[in-house]
């Protein structure tokens, strides 16, 4: 174990999905790797009325699966779980009652450092911060607060939440978490761009024709209807995860990898995004809802919430002027895939006799975030034969071929950063302001103009027709690697 300061991690919403599926498994992994402070404990707060045993059992099955993935035998699994579960404590508590916080105060007296992790529904966050602040639970300068996205629900509420936080806390104590920044493949975008001299000369409007970012999920809203229906794809994924990817692709090289420098360069991108004109939202943004969404548990049967969103954005600066960035995200898509495709300009002149569609196929650099984490460079070669025929091929780097060892999960990386007080990969308040400023006009327009065609895409499709039209109006197509290219009418690979 390392000898970091004794720490209590207080989880608000300890009975929820995020705690069960992400936070506790990540902490368990850190524990197995002996990365947690020596005197560490986890205080789970919620209002299920569980006993301590019920609370522990709530996580046990998941954790055991996890140990099996690490190829631990039964005995070791049992032993590790027993040791880990000593860290866990459950407290039944109503977050909305100020008197609950006196109880919490009592619990925390013995530790010099506490981290409050708000894994709750977004609408509770402001209230909890106020209660913690009023109860003087932030007076210890070692205390930190972790807030999940979405951070607010529009520009106004995000600014209000920031005001509430800064009434009690210094910015350095606030960790706005976006788990995409903890993903290995997302961080690898920085390595690819700034650890190599090969790509940077081409990484601009002179060589790149357009950038496409797709984050598709096969699953629907599952058991999260209550949260999702108030949120929708723009708030749930675009304002945060997709914008992080866009910033990493479009940012200028940071001088060094320290919080403010890295964040400044990311935020510069958001500041450069051309505002979407209020009266032309439909030219830049498309929404969709999958058929069957309205029948999902805890979803309004007349819901207008989007489960798919596509945007066209421009980054108005020297590097990217007039190069479109197409973003799309959706649930119930044909497959789970997150990838970024940089499409290079076509050759200026066709030297070879052109007869097949491959002739006009431009080069692509594809960064696949998940699954099958990889980087693919697609270029043309001569197809063997007596005729001169071009054919696109892929040069492919696959993460798991080079690095077969298990990657740390995004939450593992980020939780360790929080414990160590490293805020580099967390979101600053001005980033939130900039991101909400970009999407608030779209949210306002969608709120005002009720969609007439919902639900408008079927499960297993790539979203509504309007999404294809958005990009096809510019003479382009959505691209994805491998078989899905064919789904899009792009040139198929053999």
Residues contributing to the site for ligand BG6 (CB under 6 A): 217, 236-237, 338
Q: Which residues, other chains included, contact 302 with Cβ-Cβ below 8 Å and sequence gap of 6+?
A: 294
What is the token pair recorded at 377? 């460079």
Q: Output the smallest distance, CB 226 to ligand BG6, in A.
A: 13
Q: How far from the centroid of its chain's Cα atoms is residue 68's Cα? A: 27
Closest CA to 476 of 315, 308, 344: 344
**Separation between Cα atoms, residue 145 and residue 418, nearest integer Å:** 9
C-alpha distance across the termini of the chain, in Å = 52
Nearest approach in angstroms of CB 338 to ligand BG6 is: 6
Q: Toward ligand BG6, which CB reaches closer, 236 or 412?
A: 236
Q: Of 133 and 150, which has the nearer Cβ to ligand BG6?
A: 150
**What minimum distance in Å lies between the beta carbon of 23 and ligand BG6?**
13
* Torsions phi, psi for 303 (to 5 deg): -55, 140
Q: How far is the CB of 478 from ligand BG6 (least distance, A)?
A: 19
Q: Which of 23, 46, 140 is nearest to 409 (CA)?
A: 23
Is 21 noted as a catalytic residue in this protein?
Answer: no
Copy the structure tokens of residue 158. 């995000």
* Closest residue to bound ligand BG6 by CB: 236
Query: In 3D, which of 484, 465, 464, 488 has the Cα closest to residue 476?
Result: 488
Q: Of 105, 241, 391, 488, which one is the catalytic site residue?
A: 241
Closer residue to ligand BG6 in complex, CB, 281/338: 338
Nearer to ligand BG6, 133 or 225 (CB): 225
Select 242 or 416, whichever has its Cβ closest to ligand BG6: 242
User: Closer CB to ligand BG6, residue 169 or residue 418?
Assistant: 418
Q: What residues are labeled active site?
A: 241
């Amino acid at each position: 174990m390392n000898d970091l300061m004794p720490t209590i991690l207080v989880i608000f919403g300890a009975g929820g999905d995020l705690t069960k599926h992400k936070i506790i498994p990540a902490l368990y992994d850190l524990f197995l790797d002996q990365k947690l402070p020596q005197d560490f404990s986890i205080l789970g707060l919620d209002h299920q009325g569980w006993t301590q045993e019920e609370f522990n059992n709530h996580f046990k099955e998941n954790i055991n699966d996890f140990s099996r993935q690490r190829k631990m035998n039964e005995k070791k699994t049992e032993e590790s779980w027993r040791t880990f579960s000593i860290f866990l404590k459950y407290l039944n508590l109503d977050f909305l009652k100020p008197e609950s916080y006196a109880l919490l105060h009592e619990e925390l007296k013995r530790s010099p450092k506490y981290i409050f992790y708000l894994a709750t529904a977004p609408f509770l966050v402001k209230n909890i911060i106020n209660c913690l602040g009023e109860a003087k639970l932030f007076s210890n300068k070692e205390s930190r607060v972790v807030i999940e996205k979405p951070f607010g629900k529009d520009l106004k509420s995000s600014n209000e939440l920031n005001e509430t936080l800064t009434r009690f806390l210094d910015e350095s104590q606030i960790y706005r978490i976006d788990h995409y920044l903890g993903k290995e493949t997302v961080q690898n975008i920085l390595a690819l761009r700034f650890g190599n001299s090969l790509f940077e000369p081409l990484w601009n409007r002179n060589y790149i024709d357009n950038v496409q970012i797709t984050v598709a999920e096969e699953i629907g809203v599952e058991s999260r209807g209550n949260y999702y229906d108030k949120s929708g794809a723009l708030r749930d994924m675009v304002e945060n995860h997709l914008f992080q990817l866009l910033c990493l692709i479009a940012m200028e090289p940071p001088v060094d990898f320290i919080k403010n420098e890295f964040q400044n360069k990311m935020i510069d991108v958001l500041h450069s995004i051309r505002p979407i004109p209020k009266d032309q939202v439909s030219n830049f943004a498309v929404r969709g809802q999958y058929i069957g969404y309205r029948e999902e548990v805890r979803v309004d049967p007349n819901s207008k919430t989007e489960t798919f969103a596509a945007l066209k954005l421009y980054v108005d600066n020297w590097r990217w002027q007039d190069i479109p960035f197409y973003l799309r995200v959706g649930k119930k898509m044909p497959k789970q895939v997150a990838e970024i495709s940089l499409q290079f300009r076509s050759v200026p002149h066709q030297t070879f006799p052109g007869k097949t569609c491959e002739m006009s196929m431009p080069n692509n650099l594809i960064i696949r975030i998940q699954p099958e984490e990889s980087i693919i460079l697609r270029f043309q070669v001569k197809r063997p034969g007596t005729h001169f025929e071009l054919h696109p091929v892929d040069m492919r780097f696959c993460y798991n071929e080079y690095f077969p060892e298990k990657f740390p999960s995004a939450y593992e990386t980020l939780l360790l950063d929080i414990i160590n007080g490293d805020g580099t990969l967390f979101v600053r308040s001005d980033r939130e302001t900039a991101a909400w400023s970009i999407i608030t006009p779209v949210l306002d327009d969608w709120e005002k103009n009720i969609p007439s065609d919902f639900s408008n895409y079927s499960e297993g499709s790539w979203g509504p027709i309007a999404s294809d039209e958005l990009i096809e109006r510019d003479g382009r197509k959505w691209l994805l690697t491998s078989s899905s290219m064919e789904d899009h009418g792009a040139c198929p690979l053999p």
